[in-house]
Amino acid sequence: MPESVNTYHSIVPLEWLGPHERRKSLAGWSSFVYRAIDRRDGKTYALRRVEGFRLLHEVAFAAVEKWVRLSHPGIVKLKEAFTTKAFGDHSLVFVYDFHPGAQNLYSAHIAPDPMASGPRAPWNLGHPNAKPIPEDTLWAYIIQVAGAIKAVHDQGMALRLLDVSKVLVTGKNRVRLDCCSVLDILSWNPTLSLELLQQEDLIAFGKLIYVLGCRDVNALEAAPKAIDTLMRSYSSAINNLAYFLLSKSNKKKTIDEVWVKLAPRMATETASLFSYADTLENQMMAELENARLVRLLAKLGFVNERPDFSREQRWSETGDRYIIKLFRDFVFHQVDEMGNPVMNMGHVLSCLNKLDAGIEERIMLVSRDEQSCLVVSYKEIKSCLESAFQ
Amino acid sequence: MPESVNTYHSIVPLEWLGPHERRKSLAGWSSFVYRAIDRRDGKTYALRRVEGFRLLHEVAFAAVEKWVRLSHPGIVKLKEAFTTKAFGDHSLVFVYDFHPGAQNLYSAHIAPDPMASGPRAPWNLGHPNAKPIPEDTLWAYIIQVAGAIKAVHDQGMALRLLDVSKVLVTGKNRVRLDCCSVLDILSWNPTLSLELLQQEDLIAFGKLIYVLGCRDVNALEAAPKAIDTLMRSYSSAINNLAYFLLSKSNKKKTIDEVWVKLAPRMATETASLFSYADTLENQMMAELENARLVRLLAKLGFVNERPDFSREQRWSETGDRYIIKLFRDFVFHQVDEMGNPVMNMGHVLSCLNKLDAGIEERIMLVSRDEQSCLVVSYKEIKSCLESAFQ
């Protein structure tokens, strides 16, 4: 493994091949996937390396630029591509966004032992591969793949590579097309018509639905059986779509026709997306509270028990900052009637929130020797704390 | 204002009427909106009160139950409805989810002075009412309203009330239908056919698009002008949809036909929803850190400087818990070479994260009198802190 490749360092292989597994080829070429850090931005990326590839047509790289400019939530973003001798051969490297814990649809739903190919994120452990993919999950995949294809076709491009091993599951019911742009270079051929390639994308999409629905990569080798299996397991809308994509026709099909076929399902899909966003927004509101509390707790930490302050008048038992110390005791050092420490997170959060808001509510702070007590409002404590920072 | 109504207390009016404004009526009835807290769950709700209403047909309440069971991201959820004399009259009260800072589409986009009717959330300040609604925003509204209508019609119900004053803007480009179920009681009429009411919903939807597109509640009083205005400002897809909804036809229209017409737009809409969810998820990951840090800071607070511990052996300068105290000094009480306090939030967060992870990295903790020092790993400090809680 090289120390670094171009601007990428800390290179780690991302695939675990069992002793009897063969490396799958990419259009006839051996390929490897690594995780690496780009020293220009410090971020982690996924590097896909094609082994022993000599670039003959510089012009093929024009397609890379188009893919780099395409940002879409259904596509693993391509950052750049380059050739390198860093691996001791002529390699072609594609740099993609890295999605930690992702696996492809094959490992997630079809592979006999999903744990064989290394560690993964929790959402990917939730698929017991013995069970069929639920209708809702299959719909979610279909809509995201259809969205990605539309984005690509609308840009006057084609995917050229779409199967269960080239779609990454990057979250619960969340997928992204992988390996975009690779075939534009590996199988560069300026005589191929865009229209033909786009038709092939739609056929590949239809195959993908059958393969997922039957959980068998070879499902379409016995087409009547595959059609029957899909029919028994999924709604007619999914069946009609899959059949439409694979059916022979003299008329050119378009991804826009696919979206018309998706229409009856879209109300449900958008509703669940809106609900999900609502849930995230609500959780976020709660979490933003925590950011505020961390800052406040750090402030208290900065101020209290500073040894260098013990000599200062303002921290003496008559000084105004003495209040902050007593408040800290009030928040954290509650005791029950037996004198045992009480550790009540609710009390802590409530006190801190009141302090942050600086409300008028008054509390009684008692000195440690219990000989004196002070009645102060949260507002006053807040201004003591603020002034300690000036 | 009554102290409480049924289980609701802290009742506050939500509408600010200017001296020359007239209260808008709801199907001929005066209505008022309040914010109130339900003492059963402590949550805030919006109460819509219809003044001087005597319920003649108990059976009308059957519709309320159906609405209560309907949860949809495009609909302001109905919690319950009841009659009450708490306001000094016979009132009918509908209780809805409360969306803070929400305003209706009329105030958000059409009202001459959007500030006239009280305070609102930041996203609602972003609409300078002098400008037309952007195409993307109008699409977002159309798709959410269409989704809500489909959910309602699929349940064998009808909205019966849909105009710019009955759609709440509850977030950026985020709307929810308000006042559901109100007309089912106020205009209870068992002889009306569901089919007719649903057709009227679709016509109201078409009107809504013209009113928003022209930013004029009376836009359709001059239909040719409205059609022309919409045509000049928005894409043909929006125009076709609005025209379809209002066009005379012998054939019954359905919300499913509307969704087919939305199909060409859905790829864009779902992509932006997925992107939005991705952004929220990423932000959430960052914020979840804070929840962890709050718990850790609270733990340190619970343990350090407890007066009742000062007598215990383990907190003496030879005890194992003395380390926690020195660590606190290390985190918060850094000084520069001049002996001035250094308040570096980065240092605090880095130390706390290392403590939480319990890594092997070692740090040197110095006693306050600088006479002794200890070299310990974060792992050891973590186990000291854990054991202090046992």
pLDDT surpassing 90 at residue B112: no
**Pick from A190-204, B90-104, B116-130: least confident:** B116-130
Contact flag B307-A368 (C-beta cutoff 8 Å): yes
For residue A274, the chain B residues in CB contact (below 8 A) are 73-74, 144, 147, 174, 273
| Region A191-198 average pLDDT | 94
Nearest to A287 among B284, B297, B348 (CB): B284
The better pLDDT of the pair A74, A172 is held by A74
| Region A114-142 average pLDDT | 71
- Mind listing the domains of chain B with CATH numbers? 4-253 (1.10.510.10), 287-387 (1.10.287.3700)
Q: What local confidence, expressed as pLDDT, does residue B18 receive?
A: 56
| Region A184-197 average pLDDT | 92
For residue B328, the chain A residues in CB contact (below 8 A) are 301, 305
Q: Which residue of B has its CA nearest to A292?
A: B290
**Nearest CA distance, A287 vs chain B (angstrom):** 6
Share of chain A above pLDDT 90, in %: 55
Sign of the C-alpha dihedral, residues B120, B121, B123, B125? positive
Sign of the C-alpha dihedral, residues A212, A218, A221, A226? negative
Contact flag A291-B288 (C-beta cutoff 8 Å): no
Q: Which residue of A has its CA nearest to B301?
A: A332
pLDDT surpassing 90 at residue A386: no
**Pick from A96-110, B94-108, B281-295, B367-381: least confident:** B281-295
The type of residue at A279 is T
Q: What local confidence, expressed as pLDDT, does residue A3 receive?
A: 92
What are the CA-CA distances from residue B387 to residues A149, B299, B314, B320, B390 (Å)? 56, 12, 11, 10, 5
The type of residue at A347 is H
Nearest to A287 among B270, B277, B288 (CB): B288
Confidence of residue B84 (pLDDT cuts 50, 70, 90): very high
pLDDT tens for each residue of B184-232: 999 888 899 999 999 999 999 999 999 999 999 999 999 999 999 999 9
Q: What local confidence, expressed as pLDDT, does residue B119 receive?
A: 55
**ipTM of the prediction:** 0.73
Q: Which residue of A has its CA nearest to B343?
A: A302
Contact flag B281-A171 (C-beta cutoff 8 Å): yes
Nearest to A263 among B262, B269, B291 (CB): B262
For residue B281, the chain A residues in CB contact (below 8 A) are 171, 280
Task: Say how many CB pairs under 8 Å bridge A and B.
Answer: 175
The type of residue at B102 is A
The type of residue at A325 is K
A366 beta partners: A373
Nearest-angstrom CA–CA distance, B134 and B128: 11
Longest dimension (CA), chain A: 96
pLDDT surpassing 80 at residue B130: no
Best to test chain B binding among A177, A297, A326 (most B CBs inside 10 Å):
A297
Nearest to B274 among A74, A301, A348 (CB): A74
Nearest to A263 among B259, B269, B276 (CB): B259
Task: State the average pLDDT for chain A.
Answer: 87
Confidence of residue A121 (pLDDT cuts 50, 70, 90): low
Confidence of residue B20 (pLDDT cuts 50, 70, 90): low
Contact flag B280-A275 (C-beta cutoff 8 Å): no
pLDDT tens for each residue of A287-308: 777 777 888 788 777 777 766 5
The better pLDDT of the pair B376, B333 is held by B376
Q: What local confidence, expressed as pLDDT, does residue A50 receive?
A: 94
pLDDT tens for each residue of A40-87: 998 999 999 999 998 888 888 889 999 999 999 999 999 999 999 999
**Pick from A60-64, A257-261, B242-246: least confident:** A60-64
Share of chain B above pLDDT 70, in %: 89
Contact flag B271-A305 (C-beta cutoff 8 Å): no
Contact flag B151-A301 (C-beta cutoff 8 Å): no
The better pLDDT of the pair B359, A387 is held by B359
pLDDT surpassing 80 at residue A17: no
Q: What local confidence, expressed as pLDDT, does residue B136 receive?
A: 94
Contact flag B269-A270 (C-beta cutoff 8 Å): yes
**Pick from A329-338, B124-133, B337-346: least confident:** B124-133
| Region A145-159 average pLDDT | 97
For residue B280, the chain A residues in CB contact (below 8 A) are 277, 280-281, 284
Contact flag A267-B146 (C-beta cutoff 8 Å): yes
Confidence of residue A123 (pLDDT cuts 50, 70, 90): low
Nearest-angstrom CA–CA distance, A183 and A158: 10
pLDDT surpassing 70 at residue A309: no
Task: State the average pLDDT for chain B.
Answer: 87
Nearest to B341 among A271, A283, A306 (CB): A306
Confidence of residue B307 (pLDDT cuts 50, 70, 90): low
Share of chain B above pLDDT 90, in %: 55
Confidence of residue B328 (pLDDT cuts 50, 70, 90): confident
pLDDT tens for each residue of A263-292: 989 999 999 999 999 988 888 877 777 777
Confidence of residue B27 (pLDDT cuts 50, 70, 90): confident
SS (H, E, C) chain A: CCCEECCEEEEEECCCCCCCCCCCEECCEEEEEEEEEECCCCCEEEEEEECCCCCCCHHHHHHHHHHHHCCCCCECCEEEEEEECCCCCCEEEEEEECCCCCEEHHHHHHCCCCCCCCCCCHHHHCCCCCCCCCHHHHHHHHHHHHHHHHHHHHCCCCCCCCCHHHEEEEECCEEEECCCCHHHHHCCCCCCCHHHHHHHHHHHHHHHHHHHHHCCCCHHHHHHHHHHHHHHHCCHHHHHHHHHHHCCCCCCCCHHHHHHHHHHHHHHHHHHHHHHHHHHHHHHHHHHHHHHHHHHHHHHHHHCCCHHHCCCHHHCCCCCCHHHHHHHHHHHCCECCCCCECCCHHHHHHHHHHHHHCCCCEEEEECCCCCCEEEEEHHHHHHHHHHCCC
Best to test chain A binding among B141, B258, B333, B336 (most A CBs inside 10 Å):
B333
pLDDT surpassing 70 at residue B274: yes
**Using an 8 Å Cβ cutoff, are B230 and B213 in contact?**
yes
pLDDT surpassing 60 at residue A120: no
The better pLDDT of the pair A92, A373 is held by A92
